[in-house]
Every structure is written in structure tokens, then in C-alpha cells.
Structure 1
């Protein structure tokens, strides 16, 4: 797998794009009762999902480094990984959605969708190819049982 940009940096870039869009696009502003509370909830949920998934990796004594999936020693399929194959990226998406709500521009959902597309193409698919090489049939079965994002 070729060198990639760390996913946390990608999330920050997309968050920056959201901020720029909100500052300079004169349309798309919205508000509703509980918007700020929902943003706080989603960001907290995103952080919680990321923390739980990282803790699960440490418990299994395998790498959390997405740039070096060859270092992976064990396939984590329990806990939050029973519901999503990419909870760390899902947590980042939740955090971006929360940021979009905080900014209050509807067009930020397009940027969040761009994050999903980018991650699928440039991060997740190469990781999946490497995990298939490392774990074979076990990973193939896991992919059939567990969705990529939700």
C-alpha cells in the first residue's frame, strides 16, 4: 500500500473546506430548534466511537496506524466492529456532520459526502485489499457480515 495522508489530516482538510464554504457561500444557511445540541451530541458520539475502536485495537495488540496496515496482527471483529468495519472513520464523519450543523450551512453535507467518497477510494479500499491478503477467508466472511460504514 502506497503512502497516504493520515485520515485525521484528511478530516481536518474537509472540515476546513466546510468552514470556507460557510464563510463565502451566501446561500444555504439554516437553523432549527436543537441544532446546536444535536451538533454537540454528534461530536461526542463521534469521539466516543473513535475512542472505543482505538481501545479495542490496543486490547487486541494490533496497530491503529492506517498508513501501515501490513503491521496488522489480528482482525478485530467484535464490539463496535461488529456493526461497522470502519468505526474510526465513521467517528470522523460524525464529527464532520456535527461541525456542519454547528456552521449551519446545508451545502456542508456535500463536503461530508465528499469525505466519505475520498475515504472509500483512497483509504478504505487499499486497506481492505491488504486485509484480504493478510486474513483471506476470515476477512471475506467479516465483510459479508458487517457493513463498511453503518
Structure 2
């Protein structure tokens, strides 16, 4: 695909990222029914509290990043071109606050429902998000926004 096509189509990610998180989570829950792992550790009050903390942290990342996208009228659909480069607000902390928020949300719900398979499958999810989504987005943003994105990339971490 030539660079003009990439610019017109956006990053070319055809599977919505939240769907990957949800599908991985559901797969883990189903695997637990087939190959159960004792989840007694997840009954600890401290772990439940950690889950609630993670949920609040996830909401912080998700609400702030989504709000910024809506205010700047940018697209969340990864098969459409971006209208602007997000580099302020929550995007000063992370180049990918939505994916960071989704990962934290995943851990928060995992702590509350208590399923080891969610933790076991998370590295696979992380690799898919990193390789299939984020790296495509980065190539696209570099093509679309050039030196401005390269400077941003040098100064802000991919995750946290």
C-alpha cells in the first residue's frame, strides 16, 4: 500500500481495540470454566480494593482521553484519517492513554471477579495491541504529522 493510501485510510486497524480487550477477557472467563484455577487469592479484601483503585484509574485515563478526542473533533475510528495530533492534556503522560486505560480497566475487573486466566492471557493481548494496533498507528501518525509526531514520540512514552 502506498503512503497516499495510508494517509487516506488512517492507520488501517480494522478490529476496534476495545473489542480485543473484551474478547480476551471473555476467552479467559470461558477457559476458567474448562480448566479452573483456584481463585481464593482474589477473595482478599486488599485485592478487591486494588480492583476498585484500578477501575478509578482506568476511568481517569479513559474519560480524559475520550473527552479530548471529542473536544478536538478527532476520530476514534482507526480506518479513518486523524484530523489532529493529540499532544496535550492526558497525552502528555502517555501516547496511548486509551489503551493504557483499557489495560488498567482489564486488571481492575480481573481483581474483582478473580480469574487467573485473565492474567495469563494478558501478555498475549498486550503483544497484539502493541504490534497490530499501536505500531500501525505510529507509522500512520509519522506519515501524517511528520516531524511534529517524531518530536512528540521522543518526549512521551508509549504507555506510561
What is the TM-score when the length of structure 1 is the normalising length? Answer: 0.88
Superposition RMSD in Å:
1.7
Distance of aligned partners of 1:40 and 1:21 in 2 relative to their CA distance in 1, 3 Å threshold: farther
Q: Could you tell me how far 1:18 is from its partner in structure 2?
A: 2.2
Paired residue total: 148
Picking from 124, 137, 141, the partner of 1:127 is 137
- Tell me, which stretches of 5 or more residues in structure 2 are unaligned? 1-10
Picking from 17, 38, 46, the partner of 1:34 is 46
Query: Does 2:107 align with 1:94?
Result: no
The structure 1 segments of at least 4 consecutive aligned residues displaced by more than 6 Å after TM superposition are: none
Query: For the residues of structure 1 that align with 2:117 and 2:13, how far apart are their CA atoms?
Result: 31
Q: 1:104 matched to which residue of 2?
A: 114
Aligned partners of 2:29 and 2:115 also within 8 Å: no
Question: In terms of Rg, which structure is larger?
Answer: 2
- Tell me, which stretches of 5 or more residues in structure 1 are unaligned? none
Q: Could you tell me how far 1:110 is from its partner in structure 2?
A: 2.5
Deviation digits for residues 49-90 of structure 1, max 9, x if unmatched? Answer: 11110111122222222332x2x1211111110011111111
Q: 2:79 matched to which residue of 1?
A: 67
Distance of aligned partners of 1:39 and 1:5 in 2 relative to their CA distance in 1, 3 Å threshold: same
Distance of aligned partners of 1:2 and 1:94 in 2 relative to their CA distance in 1, 3 Å threshold: same
Query: Does 2:15 align with 1:5?
Result: yes
Q: Secondary structure at the match of 1:34?
A: helix
Deviates further, 133-142 or 40-49? 40-49
Query: For the residues of structure 2 that align with 1:140 and 1:55, how far apart are their CA atoms?
Result: 24
